[in-house]
């Protein structure tokens, strides 16, 4: 499918979780398209773009990170990608409370702080796009034993998206989510063998759809969830997202 005209405009995208995996792939992709890219991560990112080291659950650090990013160029898009999971996949009965709290804090509190910082800057410059990377595990139909905190956290972000879409629409800010329906080769699977990881999708899987959502005109689509697999496999689904610039 050819890219709509609105995809041709480069801007400044802030991406969280850029030290590796999906975030690093997104950063490299947007850079290749001529975008200004700012990464936010607790660890240094790959060379080629500015990385601000910050914990997404630290309110003051996030406010400072966004202020520094905005000094580079107006922020036109933010992709909230950073997340963690319980790599031991505890059942609820055996789950340490600290594990539950850590996943919810990073995935939900971090998403909230990222979006709030983004919106405060975007309202000064006429709007933009906020994109949350979520998961098919946020859906009731896809609940998975051993992943209670991750499933719950991503479901919370889906609802946060709906609320933000309502609140931020008058400011010209679109808020949407993007999720894969397959497992992607990220740090979540670092404990797998190299052979096992060959069946995982590449981290770049979300690149083009993230770009689509990051370049939507104000009011074109907001409060929606884009299913990567349906986008790839179903032309009718893609046509439901068509945008006239």
Q: The domain spanning residue 170 has which CATH number?
A: 3.40.50.720
Closest CA to 187 of 72, 25, 27: 25
What pLDDT is recorded for position 1?
A: 38
The residues that bridge with 89 in the sheet, in sequence order, are none
Tell me if residue 150 is catalytic: yes
Longest dimension (CA), the chain: 52
In a domain, 9, yes or no: yes
DSSP for 154-183, please give it: HHHHHHHHHHHHHHHGGGTEEEEEEE-SS-
Q: Is residue 34 part of a domain?
A: yes
164 within a domain of the structure (yes/no): yes
Residues of the domain holding 105 = 5-239
Q: What is the pTM of this model?
A: 0.91
Structural domain contains residue 162: yes
- Which residues are within 8 A (CB) of 66 and not within 5 positions of it... i.e. 6 or more apart? 14, 75, 117, 118, 120, 121
> Which pLDDT belongs to residue 29?
97
Domain assignment of residue 244, yes or no: no
Q: Specify if 245 maps to a domain.
A: no
pLDDT by residue (tens digit) across 221-237?
A: 999 999 999 999 999 99
Does any domain span residue 46? yes
The single residue of 29, 97, 150, 237 carrying the catalytic annotation is: 150
181, 227 Cβ separation under 8 angstroms: yes
**What ranges in the chain are assigned the alpha helix state H?**
21-32, 59-72, 97-104, 110-122, 148-168, 194-197, 207-214, 228-233, 235-239
Question: Over its length of 245 residues, how does the chain's per-residue pLDDT go in tens digits?
Answer: 344 445 557 899 999 999 999 999 999 999 999 999 999 999 988 888 999 999 999 999 999 999 999 999 999 999 999 999 998 999 999 999 999 999 999 999 999 999 999 999 999 999 999 999 999 888 888 898 989 999 999 999 999 999 999 999 999 999 999 998 777 666 566 666 676 666 676 888 899 999 999 999 999 999 999 999 999 999 999 999 987 44
Angle between helices 148-168 and 97-104 (to 10 degrees): 30
Q: Which residues, 6 or more positions from 135, have their beta carbon under 8 angstroms from its beta carbon?
A: 150, 151, 154, 179, 180
Question: What total number of domains does the chain contain?
Answer: 1
Provide the pLDDT for residue 204: 82
Q: What is the pLDDT of residue 195?
A: 64
pLDDT score at 196:
63
């Amino acid at each position: 499918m050819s890219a709509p005209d609105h995809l041709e405009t480069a801007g400044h995208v802030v991406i969280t979780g850029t030290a590796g995996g999906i975030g690093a792939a997104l950063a490299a992709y947007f850079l290749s398209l001529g975008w200004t890219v700012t990464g936010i991560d607790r660890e240094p990112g790959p060379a080629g773009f500015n990385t601000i080291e910050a914990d997404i659950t630290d309110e003051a650090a996030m406010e400072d990170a966004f202020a520094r990013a905005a000094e580079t160029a107006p922020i036109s898009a933010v992709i909230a990608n950073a997340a963690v999971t319980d790599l031991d996949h505890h059942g609820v009965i055996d789950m340490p409370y600290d594990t539950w709290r850590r996943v919810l804090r990073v995935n939900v509190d971090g998403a909230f702080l990222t979006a709030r910082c983004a919106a405060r800057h975007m309202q000064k410059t006429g709007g933009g796009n906020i994109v949350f990377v979520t998961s098919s595990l946020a859906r009731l139909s896809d609940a998975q034993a051993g992943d209670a905190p991750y499933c719950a956290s991503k479901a919370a972000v889906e609802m946060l998206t709906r609320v933000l879409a309502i609140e931020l629409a008058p400011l010209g800010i679109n808020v949407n989510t993007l999720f894969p329906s397959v497992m992607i080769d990220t740090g979540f699977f670092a404990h797998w063998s190299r052979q096992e990881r060959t069946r995982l999708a590449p981290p770049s899987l979300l690149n083009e759809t993230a770009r689509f959502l990051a370049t939507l005109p104000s009011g074109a689509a907001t409060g929606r969830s884009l299913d990567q697999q349906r986008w790839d496999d179903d032309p009718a689904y893609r046509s439901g997202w068509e945008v006239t610039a």
